[in-house]
Amino acid sequence: MSRALVVVQARFGSSRLPGKVLADLAGKPLLARVLERAQRIAGIAGVVLATTDVEADAAVAALGRACGVEVFRGNENDVLDRYYQAARATGADPIVRVTADCPLLDPAVSAEVVGAYRTGAWDYVSNFADRRYPDGLDTEVFSFAALERAWREAALASEREHVTPYIWKHPERFRLGGVAGAQDLSSLRWTVDQPADLDFVRAVFVALYREGEPFGMANVLDLLRRRPELRTINAGFITNEGYTRSLAKDAAVRQEATP
């Protein structure tokens, strides 16, 4: 019987914003806010926190346990391996992937992606291949078999440091599906990679967060219509900068391998 689990990768280290997962956000660590929202995604059996086995991430693991989620600790740099081992250890199938730097994750949006996967038509479904949702609501759902094949075959840095590129780069090997929003909101940045991003989500939480009253994408959009100046707080940053750096490593390896 399938066990749909959200697997959230997180570590204390970050090249752009060290310690961001433990940064305060409305009285709790940012990661706790992500885990809270992940636990509200309809149709899942639970949440797994996949952190590293280095000492610096003992606090991250402890936070996951305090939040009531399963915790797996694994390889720091081979994130694909860590993710695969976490899914295998917990029996996750399908796997719902959201990231630890998205505290404005909307459970209802993520549930749409889960629903699309459950039609049985796809091995992998995301809501950002044709990006129309804000950056920060990204959700992927894929089978354990697809993850295992990627784990066996992926070789490039961009494919090991990030979990799913090998899957979505190979439509000839995997059935790829997508969920697109009703309107183009791709210019909105709701993820946390820079100090200014943290300032933005803190401002949103100050305006919208009330204990026991979850808010979602529609509430944030309404806030931005009323207070458009909030959009300028973190404007101008590159989306998926970490993946872009991994691609540069791929290029360097190929150049070294060329006789």
The predicted-structure confidence for 93-105, as pLDDT tens digits, reads as follows 999 999 999 999 9
Average pLDDT over residues 196-219: 96
Contact 137, 109 (CB under 8 A): yes
What is the three-class DSSP state of 242? helix
Average pLDDT over residues 31-58: 97
Q: What is the residue whose two structure tokens read 């949440």?
A: 47
Name the domain count of the chain. 1
Least confident of 120-124, 174-178, 220-224, 255-259: 255-259
Q: Which is nearest to 57 in space by CA: 117, 106, 10?
A: 10
pLDDT averaged over every residue in the chain: 92
Contact 133, 186 (CB under 8 A): yes
Q: Roughly how many angstroms between the first and final C-alpha of the chain, as a whole number?
A: 50
Contact 189, 136 (CB under 8 A): yes
Q: Quick one: CA torsion of 73, 142, 251, 51, rounded to 10 degrees?
A: -10
Average pLDDT over residues 108-136: 97
CATH at residue 41: 3.90.550.10
Residues 6+ apart with CB under 8 A from 148: 84, 88
Q: How do residues 133-190 score in pLDDT, each as one tens digit?
A: 999 999 999 999 999 999 999 999 999 999 999 999 999 999 999 999 999 999 999 9
> CA dist 147 to 9, 35, 122, 158, Å?
15, 22, 13, 15
Backbone angles phi, psi at 3, to 5 degrees: -130, 95
Q: Containing H/E element for 71?
A: strand 70-74
Contact 200, 208 (CB under 8 A): no
Would you tell me how many other CB atoms lie within 10 Å of the CB of residue 155?
9
Backbone angles phi, psi at 194, to 5 degrees: -130, 160
Domain that holds residue 53: 5-257
The pTM assigned to this predicted structure is 0.90
Q: Containing H/E element for 152?
A: helix 144-153
pLDDT attached to residue 256: 54
Contact 57, 73 (CB under 8 A): yes
Residues 6+ apart with CB under 8 A from 123: 142, 143, 145, 146, 167, 174, 175, 176
